[in-house]
Amino acid sequence: MRAFHHRNPCVIGTLAPGPYRTPFYGLICDGVHTHATAVAMAYHTHPEGAILVSDAISAMGDQHGPGTPTRLGTQSVEVGTKHAVIAGTNRLAGSVMKFDDGVRLFRNYTVCSQTEALEAASLHAAKFLNVHPRKGCLNLGSDADFIIVDDELNVLQTYIAGQLAWQRSINK
């Protein structure tokens, strides 16, 4: 991204008041892709535009542990605790962190409320994709796709079309 310039404000200029559509921006909050300070600065500059993104790859579900080589398409990758790199390099191949872990990191980085963190994880993306109010909220007539979380933002249940689709095991 280019730096702000008074003659060509580039993307940063969209944050200024004016007749523009609300700008949205994606943040990968895994502690690797985006520094905590950059996340906090972006959020506090324009909280209504924050959209949390996972960048998770298929290796996220691997049970082999950190440092285990695996494949991502035709690439050999090494899986860490939060991310994967192309084997033999430091080049990021993607995240292997669960989305709700990223929501918790976002909340810690920004010191926002639980509601604000969940809005960045759901409502803002629905607005950006022009599927709100069908998605991203629980209004009359919405699709009723939602999660139940505890005070630490751990997912306890997932509902799709108002029906329980997944429930966390009691043993966890």
Residues annotated as catalytic are 55
Cis peptide bond prior to 133, omega within 30° of 0? yes
How far apart CA 116 and CA 122 sit, in angstroms, is: 10
- Angle between helices 114-121 and 99-110 in degrees, nearest 10: 130
How far apart CA 65 and CA 151 sit, in angstroms, is: 28
How far apart CA 151 and CA 104 sit, in angstroms, is: 11
Residue in the structure block whose two tokens are 């990191």: 105
How far apart CA 168 and CA 170 sit, in angstroms, is: 6
For residue 156, the SS3 value is strand
